[in-house]
Each structure stands twice: as C-alpha cells, then as structure tokens.
Amino acid sequence: MTLDPQCAAILQEIAAAGGGALGQDDHLIARAAYEARTSVYHHASGDLHTVEDRTIPGGDNNDLPIRIYTPVSVTTALPVGIFFHGGGWVIGSLESHDHMCRYLAHEAGCIIVSVDYRLAPEHKFPAGLEDCLAATRWVAAEAENFGGDPARLAVVGDSAGGNLAASVALVLSDTDKHIQLKLQILIYPTLDFTADNKSKVENGEGYLLTHRSLETFADLYLPDRDARSDPRASPQLAKYHVNLPRAWIQTAEYDPLRDEGRAYAETLAKAGVAVEYKCYKGMLHGFARMGGKVDEGIVALDHAAAALRSAFETP
C-alpha cells in the first residue's frame, strides 16, 4: 500500500516548517519542537473521573513525576496500565502523550499511570529503565491506595516507551516474580539496537523517523556501543523469552522499526508467549500519537484499549 494521504500531509507540513523534532541534532531544540507540535495531534477523549500528578521515588531514589488517569467507574478496584512515552529516550514527557493516556484510560476502563522517566543524554542507559521499573514496582505495591487492582497490571509504551515496556517485562520476569503482568503493549517499539533489516533500508529516509535520527538517539542514550547488546536495552537479544506476559505488538508499514516489532513477535511466539501482531498499512512511525491528524491512529488506540480490556478480563 502507498503511504496514507494523511501521513503524507503531515510530512509536507513538517517539511514546510523546516523539519520536526526527529530531524534536530540538538536534543534541547528537539525537545522543544516535539512539545510544540503535540497540540496538533490532540484528539477528543471521554471524560475521566480524575487526573492527578504525583511524585514517587525513582530508580536512584530521585523524584519521579507520574500522572494517574482514573476513568469514571462504579468498580472500586480498577486494572492499571503503566505507560511509558516515546521519544527516543531523549524527548517526550507527560504532556506529549497526555492525549493518548486519556484515551486509553477512558476506552479501556482502566487506570493509566504515565511515567516521566529521566531522559538522555543527561541520564543515559539504564537510568530511564530504572525509573520505569521503580514506577511499576510502586504501582504493584500502592495500587490499592489509588483505586487500582495490583493483580491486574499491564505495561504500555510507544517507540522508545515500547522498548522500555518490553524491558520492564523481561526484568520483572527474573527479579520480581510476584508481579504478574497481564499484558505488554508495544507500539512500534525499538527492540534491537544491533538489528540490520529490510525495513531500516526501505524506510530509513523520507518517512519522519530516519536512519540518522535513530543513530542520534542511540548515541545519546547508549554511547557505550557494547551496552547496545545488553538485553535490557535490546530485549530481542535476551537469552530466554519464556514466562513473559501476553503481548500485543503494533507496527507501521513505513517505519524503519517495523521489522523489529515483527521479529520480536515471532521470538515471543516461539518461546510460548501468547502474542498478537498487527502492521498498520500506509502508516509511519508515531501515527498512534497523531489521532488528531491521522484517523488510523485512533483505530490503533482502539485496538490497544481492546487488548487491555481482554487481558484484564482473563483470569
């Protein structure tokens, strides 16, 4: 399928504006550009009961901001999705993905806890991952205190956040077996820093996320090239993938990361993990965040919300 017309229009808008966040070499300029464009992608969502900002202990006992989205519900103990935003481990925030979290909380009927983990290059690997682990452990311990059900937890992330969600699931399966995640939702995730595949060649230029921007983010997050083979950074390279939570993996046809998501789905399936995989035709990287501009972005979020509901209903 050819590139979706709505995605093509976004590429034209970004080009006319002089290039977007993913084309910037200066990470501070990239952050500002990413946040500035967030409002363009906002889409409507239903009303929530509460949206609350809190600070909890992070991976190095740092102050870690989180945002808790609680839907309107008559249920007293709601399932909880822990959300890690995308942005190459360098850009992104609670604000940049606020509209996605609101939508998922409302449509899935679950609490969403969004995590404002530390960013590179100020905080390189594994600082962001340690924050995401700390937040997940905090949710498991404290869920009942904010209306959540600690027996029904999931991790959700897009792009770099998908990488963090997969890594959290892997680490917890080794270190925190008492935390039984029901689901991992990986939205166009990065899963292997050593990957050399067809989608990186086909889609490395001209489709928003480029080969150059991938390398820039990797250099900022993982300047130690040996660390890129660490399974905590590249979940695909883990020795074992057994006993991981069910997975829902979404990719985009015109995304250089497409084949990483497909390969990980195949790896999980071979390890006996229940996994569903869907590649969205005509889409480019980041489309699920673009629901205000790209109709298929809402479709993808609806699929993610349905996966959450299904997983949380499974005994």
What amino acid positions are annotated as catalytic residues?
Answer: 159, 255, 285
81 SS3 class: strand
**Pairwise CA distance, residues 304 & 249, whole Å:** 9
DSSP 313: H
State phi, psi for 290 to the nearest 5 degrees.
-105, 30
**Pairwise CA distance, residues 53 & 140, whole Å:** 18
DSSP 85: -
State phi, psi for 230 to the nearest 5 degrees.
-65, 125
Confirm if 130 and 58 have CB atoms less than 8 A apart: yes
Burial of 151-168, coded b for 16+ CB within 10 Å and e otherwise, reads ebbbbbbbbbbbbbbbbb
Task: Decide: residue 178, CB within 10 A, 0-12 exposed, 13-18 middle, 19+ buried.
Answer: exposed
Give the CA count within 13 Å in the CB-facing half-sphere of 13: 11
Confirm if 261 and 250 have CB atoms less than 8 A apart: yes
Confirm if 82 and 283 have CB atoms less than 8 A apart: no
**Pairwise CA distance, residues 211 & 307, whole Å:** 31
Cα dist. 262→11, 42, 169, 273 in Å? 25, 28, 18, 14
Alpha-carbon torsion, ordered 283, 284, 287, 290, to 10 deg = -110
The helix or strand, by DSSP H or E, that contains position 241, with its residue range, turns out to be: none
